Every structure is written in C-alpha cells, then in structure tokens.
Amino acid sequence: MIESFSCLNLRCFEKKEFLFEKQFTLIEGKNGAGKTTVLEGIFLSVRGKSFLTGKLSNLVKNGEDFFKVKTGINGNYIDVFYSKRERKKEFLLNGKRERILRVSLMFPLFIFNGRLLNFIRSDTITLYKFFNIILSLYDKAYLKAYNEYSRALKEKRSLLTLQAKNDSIEPWNIILMERSNIIREKRKVFVKKINNILKENNFVLYRENSLKEENKSVFERELKEKRVLAGCHRDRFFILKNNKDMRFFYSSGQQKNIFFDVLTAVGKVFGEKTGQKPVLLLDDFDSEFDLSNLKYCLNNVLESFQIILTTTDKAKYSDFDYNLISL
C-alpha cells in the first residue's frame, strides 16, 4: 500500500508532501494544479520512468537543476534523485541502491488513463504490451524468458538484415522457439486465471501467430523478406464481450466498463498470489462515465486494488469512503 509521497522540484511543485491513509485516495484540483504529477511521481518511484514522457529532464521544475521524490510503500521507502546538469539518476530502496526492476517486482503498480484506453481501442499492439507488462510483473520466470527471447530476436533481425547464412541464424531460431514455448504456456495459464474471475460474458482471448517458427517455408520467407515473421512477439490478446471484440461492437462507455472488469480480475490474480492488493493509479477516470457506471466500476476495482484517483469534482464520489487531497 502506498503510504506517503513527497517531492522537491517536480514539475509544478517546489515542495510537497502527501499521506495516503485509506484504501481509496481522491486527489482533487483544477486543471494544471498538479494532480497528474502526483501520480507520475509515484509511478516513477516504483517503475523507474514516467508514464507521460521519456525524458526525466522534463520532470524538473522550470528554473531548477534536479528533482527528488520519495514514496513510502508497505513500510519501505523508495527515493529517486535526478540531476539535469549531471544527467544522473539514482534509485534507493530503504537507503540502499537497488535495481528498479527488483523494485517493480516487489511492488506491483499500474496506471490507467484515457490515453491508454484510446490506444487499446485503436490497435492490438497496445493491449499486447499491456498484458506483457502485467505478466512480467506477475511472474519472474516469464520476465526472464521474455528478456532472453527479446535478445535472441534482436540478433536474428540483425542477421536477416545482413543476409547472413542459414547456419548462423539457426542457433537463434532454436532459442526463440524454446523461449516462445515457455512464454506462450505462461500466457495461457495467466489468461485462464483472468477468465475464471471475469463475469457477464467478458472474456480475454489469447491468439498465437498462425506462422510457426518450426515451419521451413516460413523461415525461407523470412530470409527472402529480411524480417522475422514467426514468434510469440506476433501473438495478440483480445477482450471480448458476448464473443464480440470490445473495440468494434460497443460504445465508449461500454468499452471502459469492460476494460475495468478485466482490470479488476488482474488485481484479484495479483492479490491471490501476494496476499496484498496492488496499486492502481487512475487519471482521467470519470470521463465517458455516467454516475451509475462510475460507481459500478470503482466499486469493482476497489475490491482488488489500492486506488489513487485524480478528479476535478469530488462530488461524484460522495458515496465512497476516501482520503482527500486538495490541490
């Protein structure tokens, strides 16, 4: 559980401190008050990067040379320091340097905002990345296999571009096939767990790429086209309701409802494994929702996550017990 957050020279904040005393925290303020910045700082602490920008220098307050953030979570403290002048960043867990990957695995944390859902509505690659991140945080063996797969994939792509001989590519093909088998099996098991929790005819479909790595004709095509055509990186996930793809057959509000049912199931799967609720940061949550659907979705995810939510209108949440932060 996120217990506290403080920052120095982070975007619009010179110095701020916040306490999170309940399972549900509401951050209220006008546009530009810094609501999303609080979520960004918490996300940075646990995942090592911003969900808005790829450059940490963009997070430094105008006129300053550095920022610091400190997040208290489950009795631990994560400190992040970044110097724009020195281009130096440092992550500390309880005062000691720590790899951000280990921190991410220790404290599962997810972000939802309108931009994520818009991407999921428009393509299947974003949903694939979404589930890939979830599985990487859920299962260390999955993360290890996927990292090894990614390295082998990079080598194979390079050799195909250079038109290397078959015998130099074959060892990488063997690694890719072996890791693909591990990755696909773990994906199937995880999706089954999600589907066992989902209700109201919602369903996650995992579909493997139809082109198989062991097929010689596929390999010949790869050599000819100088690109990788087979492998688990070309698999896809789909979210269905009543056997229909949510992207094409449902309104914006319905899509959001369906996606939050999946998020709820994800939180429950993590909770069953760790005995603790993961953290869900909600930015731009209440757009596209009427009041009844807002309450339905929020009640569901509160069963599975600690929620930190930004809003311009706390009145929408009058039926909930929350910790209020006003900016």
Q: 249 and 285 in one domain?
A: no
Q: What is the pLDDT of residue 213?
A: 80
Kindly state whether residue 80 falls inside one of the protein's structural domains. Answer: yes
Q: What is the pLDDT of residue 118?
A: 84
CATH number at residue 241: 1.20.1050.90
Q: What is the pLDDT of residue 116?
A: 86
Q: Consecutive 10-residue runs of the chain (327 residues): their mean pLDDT?
A: 96 95 93 94 95 92 96 96 92 94 93 86 90 95 97 94 83 93 98 93 95 86 91 96 93 90 95 92 87 92 95 93 95
Residues 6+ apart with CB under 8 A from 323: 19, 20, 21, 22, 24, 25, 26
Q: What is the pLDDT of residue 123?
A: 85
- Please choose, from the candidates 49, 243, 206, the residue with its C-alpha nearest in 3D space to the C-alpha of residue 124: 206
Kindly state whether residue 118 falls inside one of the protein's structural domains. Answer: no
CA atoms within 13 A on the CB side of 130: 27
State the residue range of the domain holding 306. Answer: 1-108+278-327
Q: 63 and 21 in one domain?
A: yes
Helix (H) or strand (E) holding 152: helix 140-161
Q: 184 and 284 in one domain?
A: no
Residue 12 CA to residue 61 CA, distance in Å, equals 6
CATH number at residue 80: 3.40.50.300
Q: 196 and 170 in one domain?
A: yes
Which residue among 259, 274, 289 closes a domain? 274
Kindly state whether residue 114 falls inside one of the protein's structural domains. Answer: no
Asked whether the beta carbons of 13 and 34 are under 8 A apart, the reply is yes
pTM: 0.91
Q: What is the pLDDT of residue 243?
A: 94
CA atoms within 13 A on the CB side of 266: 25
Number of domains in the chain: 2
Q: What is the pLDDT of residue 122?
A: 82
